[in-house]
Amino acid sequence: MKVHVQSVNFNADAGLIEFVENKLNSLERYYDKIVDSEVFLKVQQTSEKENKIVDIKLNIPGNDFVVKKQCKTFEEGVMLATDSLKRQLTKKKEKLRAK
């Protein structure tokens, strides 16, 4: 699967990008028809500790899944977002099997 990572308001290091790609590639175990994904990593300019926003869009034939998480670290946000996507992909697969 092709993973497009874009960082907004900061420069992402190679370790973070690799972490995101590994997490998203693991989603192929749950649903094998994923075309690609777009990941937006944003830093909000606020005084709050939870100023990291992770926005993930999975492109799947027929529809797209979008998840947005706001956390203290990008790693935590990516993990929460991929967990949410796993649940959505599992539901979609179960619906297809039921037909």
Rounded CA separation 76/56 (Å): 13
pLDDT at 47 (0 to 100): 78
pLDDT at 99 (0 to 100): 72
Asked if 3 and 21 count as a contact pair (C-beta separation under 8 A), the reply is yes
Domains, the chain, ordered by start? 2-98 (3.30.160.100)
pTM of the model: 0.90
pLDDT at 16 (0 to 100): 96
pLDDT at 11 (0 to 100): 92
pLDDT at 22 (0 to 100): 95
Q: Is 32 exposed, middle or buried (0-12, 13-18, 19+ CB in 10 A)?
A: exposed
- 10-residue mean pLDDT profile of the chain (99 residues): values are 92 94 94 93 86 95 93 96 95 86
